[in-house]
Amino acid sequence: MEADFVIVGAGSAGCAMAWRLSESGASVIVVEHGGSDAGPFIQMPAALSYPMNMSLYDWGYTSEPESHLNNRRLAVPRGKVIGGSSSINGMVYVRGHALDYDHWAEMGADGWSYADVLPYFRRMESWDDGGLGGDPDWRGTEGPLHVTRGARWNPLFDAFVEAGRQAGYPVTADYNGHQQEGFGPMDRTIWKGRRWSAANAYLRPALKRPNCALVKGFVERVEIVDGRATGVILRDRPPIRARRQVVLAASSINSPKLLMLSGIGPAQHLRALGLNVIADRPGVGANLQDHLEVYIQMASSQPITLYKHWNVVSKALIGAQWLMTKTGLGASNQFESAGFIRSRAGVRYPDIQFHFLPIAVRYDGRAAAEGHGFQAHVGPMRSESRGGVTLRSADPADAPIIRFNYMSKDSDWRDFRACVRLTREIFAQPAFAPFVKAEIQPGATIQSDGEIDAFIAEHAESAYHPCGTCRMGRRNDKNAVVDSQGRVIGVEGLTVADSSIFPRITNGNLNAPSIMVGEKISDHLLGRTPLPPANDEPWLNPAWETSQR
C-alpha cells in the first residue's frame, strides 16, 4: 500500500490531519491499532468512566512507581481505538490560556504564539453557547468539531459558580474566549447527545473520500532509507509506503517510542538496546509532563446528586432513554461548571483548574461510600516536575517505561496545598450552605501542611494529560525533537503531530490543543501559508502582581 501521507494513529491530531490533507486532494492512509468506536460505552457521554478502564479501548499503560507518591503506579490511559484518546476522555474542551502559546514561541516554537494558533481554534470549532453567553467573536461556528454546553439542570452547578463569585473571584461566560480566569460554564465536545470525538468530527467525513483510507495495524517502526522516512513497518502485514511524508500522531507515549524504535533518540539509550542510531536526539522521550489532581469531596445534605442514579435500575433507564432519544442524563458528561484561578499573588494567569461534578465518585466509576455527595477535581496547571518515556527493550510489543517524576519540586507541594485550601474555601461559601453536610475527602481533620502533603501523596491521580516528549523548538536546540513545522530534526520526510510536541503543558485539558496541532501541522505539510495571525488581546487580571483574586 502507498499514499502521499501515512498517518500513524487515528487520535485527536491524526483524525484532523486525515480530514485536512485528504481535502486537498492528497492521498492519505491512517494506520490505527485499535478497533471500532461504535457502541454506547464510547458514544454515550455519561458512560465516560467505562472506555478508559477497558483493555479493548485503552493501551493499558501504567507509570513506574512514583517515589514522591508513596511508590504508587498511576494509570496512564491512552486511546487504542478509532478516535484515540478523544474517544475515551472526559470530553472537556479547553483551549488553554493565551500566554501558554506565547510561552511556546518564547521557547523556540516560532509561529505558535497565541496570535498564530487562535485562527486554527476558530477554524476547527462549531461552537454553541447553550444560551449561557460567551465571546462569539473569539469562537468558530463553521468547523467540524462541535463544542457545546450542558443544561446545568442540577442546582449544584450554579452553586459552584456562585460560590466562586462569593469568594471574590471573577465570573467568566467563556473561559475559551476573552477571559479564562474565573468561574463559569464548561465547554464539552458533545453534540446531539453524542460524544463528538475526533473520529466523528474529522475521520468519518474524511473516509467518505476515495483518497482517504483507514488500515488496522500495529506499527513497529518507521522505515528510514538514506536519512529519509519512506514508510512504516507493520507487524504481520506488508509495509505501507509514504510518497511525501510519514506522520506520527500516536500520542505522547507511543510517538517517542516509535521514534526510538526507528533509531531516533538518545544515542546511548538506543545502543544499549542494540538499536542502530540514525539520529542522536536526546530530547526524544524527555520533557514528559502531566497534570495531577485530587478530588475534594463533600457529603450532601440533600438527595439531589447523581448518587440516586448509582444503581442498576436507574443506569438501565438512563441508558435506554439515551439509546432511543440521545437525551437525558446519558447525554452529558456531567462536567458542566468550571473554574480557573491563580494560586497566589504574582502569578500572571490561572495555574489552578476546577472540574465540578455533582457526585462523589472516582474516574474508575467507584462512588464514595458516604452516599450523596459532590466534588471538585483540582490541581496545579504548570508543575515544574519533568519525567520521561524510554524503551523497555527493542521489542515493539513491550510497553515503554513511563516515569513522570511527579511532585519532585518543592513548588509542586506549595501549589497543591493551595489547591486544597482554596477549594475548601469555595465550598465554605454561602452558596453551598444548603447543600454541604460534611467533608468526605480529605476530611476535616486534615489541616497542617504535613497532613495535606500525606493526603496528596496517597490520593493524587493523573488527569490523563501527558505531553511534551517530542518537544518542538529551533533546529539548533539539541533538546528539540521537531522544528516549528513538526518535522523531525535529523531525518527527512518524517513529522510528529500530537501532544508530544508541546514545549510546555497547556492550561487545562489537552484534547483541544492536540486537535489544533493537527489542524496547523496540516497546513505546514501541504506547504500552505499559515492562517493570518489574530489581533485579539486576552484579559489578564489587572491586580495579578499584588492580589490572588
Q: Is the dihedral of CA 172, 178, 181, 187 positive or negative?
A: positive
Beta carbons of 210 and 459 less than 8 angstroms apart: no
> Distance from CA of residue 22 to its chain's centroid?
25
What DSSP character marks residue 429?
Answer: S
SS3 for 416?
helix
Can you read off the three cell numbers belonging to residue 545? 502582581
d(CA 158, CA 150): 12
Cis amide leading into 442 (omega within 30): yes
Beta carbons of 124 and 145 less than 8 angstroms apart: yes
Residue in the structure block whose three cell numbers are 450542558:
150
Give the number of other CB atoms < 10 A from CB of residue 357.
25
With the CA atoms of 99, 104, 108 and 113 taken in that order, what torsion angle do they form, in degrees rounded to the nearest 10?
-60
For 140-173, b where at least 16 C-beta lie within 10 A, e where not — what string? Answer: beebbbbbbbbebebebbebbbbbbebbebbebe
Active site residue 178: no
Among candidate residues 33, 146, 372, 465, the one labeled active-site is 465
Q: To 10 degrees, what angle do helices 410-427 and 155-166 make?
A: 110
d(CA 405, CA 387): 5
d(CA 73, CA 31): 30
The set of residues, in sequence order, having a beta carbon less than 8 Å from that of 122 and lying 6+ positions away, is 138, 139, 140, 143, 534
Please give the sequence-ordered ranges of beta strands (E in DSSP) within 421-531, or none if there are none.
436-441, 461-462, 494-496
SS3 for 155?
helix
d(CA 303, CA 371): 9
Catalytic residue numbers read 465
